[in-house]
């Protein structure tokens, strides 16, 4: 299916990732509908000019109520493809990890299959390793549901995101400015931070493009130009402000895990038990599909490694000769 010239529904289109997917679609002359919990609020923001590039229409969606395929019928009316950017960092009442990350996407996939709609689903890297966090296990279950469906699906797994307006990105920039960087001892995994604008462009490409151009690959791991540990990423972001390095303080693992649980309990900072698990292993693509989807090299995030001499290059060749086999975990 080729969605070119149709109408794309961007679920979570008012959020950090979704706004950039909508903008990328509109820049290509495509009509985009924003799926959001609060269409009136989003529409008011658009009229105020703060969301002028958002979309031409809004459609109310509550994932916790959309856990059956038939429930998606009014939401999918008149669209030719769907981009699902919905995710929750923490549970709120009926908005549980199971409903939002697993059951609703499973029902959406079944509904898209029945209607012949392409479905682009934003997931996360690092789900193949053992995990106890329900945030991570629900994401994994959602991916499995898509694979088991008959939909024209694509799964997109970005590494850590940077950009204006993101909750996590805002905290990273804030902490980078501190003169002291507390860092969990076990946080040795590498991340390949990418600019959220690049992710938006990649999602638009997949929503509009012919899947055959990617050799049948349906799962796309995305990362930025450089692979760094979290400490190195903070240093790279700090170097944008000052040449003076921060003092790093190693935090014992037990205290870091306790802090993650406290943050989950109090809903403060983006640091969570799921993030604590991810920081202990690499969270970068083994094969970076982002350059091929963009048709160019990704944007640089932070100061380049040559300037701070503390990072290694990520796998990001702009023109890979072949694509890996489809549906790799």
What would the two tokens of residue 265 be? 């309990």
Highest mean pLDDT among 22-26, 39-43, 264-268, 317-321: 22-26
**How many Cα atoms occupy the beta-carbon half-sphere of 65 within 13 Å?**
9
pLDDT given at position 267: 87
Position 205 pLDDT exceeds 90: yes
The CATH architecture to which 7-159+195-222+284-298 belongs is 3-Layer(aba) Sandwich (3.40)
pLDDT per residue as tens digits for the range 53-65: 444 599 999 999 9
State the pLDDT confidence band at 206, using cuts at 50, 70 and 90.
very high
pLDDT at 329: 27
Block residue for tokens 């990704």: 298
What's residue 268's pLDDT? Answer: 85
Q: What is the mean pLDDT of residues 265-274?
A: 89
Place of tokens 């769907």: 82
Which pTM value belongs to this model?
0.86
Measure the CA–CA gap between 166 and 20, rounded to whole angstroms: 11
Residue 213: band (very low, low, confident or very high) from pLDDT cuts 50, 70, 90: low
Model confidence at 1: pLDDT above 70:
no
Q: What is the pLDDT of residue 4?
A: 54
* CA atoms of 82 and 271, how far apart (whole Å): 29
The pLDDT value given to residue 315: 44
Q: 74-88, 144-158, 206-220 — which is least confidently predicted?
A: 206-220
What band does 5 get if pLDDT is binned at 50, 70 and 90?
Answer: low
The 3-state secondary structure of the chain, one letter per residue = CCCCCCEEEEECCCCHHHHHHHHHHHHCCCEEEEEECCHHHHHHHHHHCCCCCCCCEEEECCHHHCCCHHHHCCCCCCCCEEEECCCCCCCECCECHHHHHHHHHHHHHHHHHHHCCEEEEECCCCCCCCCCCHHHHHHHHHHHHHHHCCCEEEEEEECCEECCCCHHHHHHHHHHHCCEEEEECCCCCEECCEEHHHHHHHHHHHHHCCHHHHCCCCEEEECCCEEEEHHHHHHHHHCCCCCCCCEEEEECHHHHHHHHHHHHHHCCCCCCHHHHHHHCCCECCCCCCHHHHHCCCCCCCCCCHHHHCCCEECCCCCCCCCCCCCCCC
Task: For Cα atoms 184, 17, 76, give the angle at the middle one, nearest 5 degrees.
Answer: 135
- What are the extents of the domains in the chain? 7-159+195-222+284-298
Report whether pLDDT(313) > 60.
no
Worst-scoring range by mean pLDDT, 38-52, 114-128, 205-219, 312-326?
Answer: 312-326
pLDDT at 309 (0 to 100)? 59
The per-residue pLDDT for range 84-132, each reduced to its tens digit, is 999 999 999 999 999 999 999 999 999 999 999 999 999 999 888 788 8
Q: What is the mean pLDDT of the chain?
A: 87
Binning pLDDT at 50, 70 and 90, where does residue 44 land?
A: low
More confident of the two residues 9 and 311: 9
What single DSSP character describes residue 284?
A: S
Residue 212 is encoded by which pair of tokens?
């055959």
Please, which residues bridge with residue 181 across strands?
Answer: 248
Please compute the mean of the pLDDT values over residues 275-302 and round it to a whole number: 93
């Amino acid at each position: 299916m080729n969605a070119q010239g149709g109408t794309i529904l961007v679920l979570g289109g008012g959020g950090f990732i979704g706004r950039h997917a909508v903008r990328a679609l509109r820049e290509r002359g495509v009509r985009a509908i924003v799926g959001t919990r609060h269409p009136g609020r989003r529409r008011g923001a658009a009229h105020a000019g703060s969301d002028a590039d958002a979309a031409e229409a809004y459609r109310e969606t509550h994932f916790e109520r959309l856990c059956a395929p038939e429930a998606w019928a009014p939401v999918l009316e008149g669209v030719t493809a769907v981009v699902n950017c919905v995710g929750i960092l923490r549970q709120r009442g009926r908005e549980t990890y199971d409903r939002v990350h697993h059951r609703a996407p499973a029902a959406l996939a079944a509904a898209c299959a029945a209607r012949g709609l392409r479905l682009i689903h934003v997931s996360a890297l690092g789900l193949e390793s053992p995990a106890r966090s329900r945030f991570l296990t629900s994401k994994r279950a959602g991916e499995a549901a898509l694979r088991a469906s008959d939909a024209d699906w694509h799964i997109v797994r970005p590494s850590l995101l940077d950009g204006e307006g993101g909750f996590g990105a805002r905290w990273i920039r804030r902490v980078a400015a501190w003169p002291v960087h507390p860092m969990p001892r076990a946080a040795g995994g590498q991340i390949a931070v990418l600019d959220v604008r690049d992710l938006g462009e990649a999602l638009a490409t997949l929503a509009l493009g012919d899947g055959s151009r990617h050799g049948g690959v349906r799962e796309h791991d995305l990362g930025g130009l450089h692979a760094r540990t979290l400490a190195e990423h903070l240093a790279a972001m700090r170097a944008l402000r000052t040449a003076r390095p921060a003092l790093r303080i190693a935090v014992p693992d037990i205290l870091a895990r306790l802090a993650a649980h406290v943050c989950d309990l109090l809903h403060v900072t983006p640091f969570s038990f799921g993030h604590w698990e991810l920081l202990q292993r690499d969270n970068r693509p083994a094969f970076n599909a982002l350059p091929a989807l963009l048709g160019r090299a990704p944007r640089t995030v932070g100061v380049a490694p040559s300037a701070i001499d503390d990072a290694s290059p990520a796998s990001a060749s702009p023109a890979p000769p072949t694509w890996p086999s489809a549906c790799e975990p």
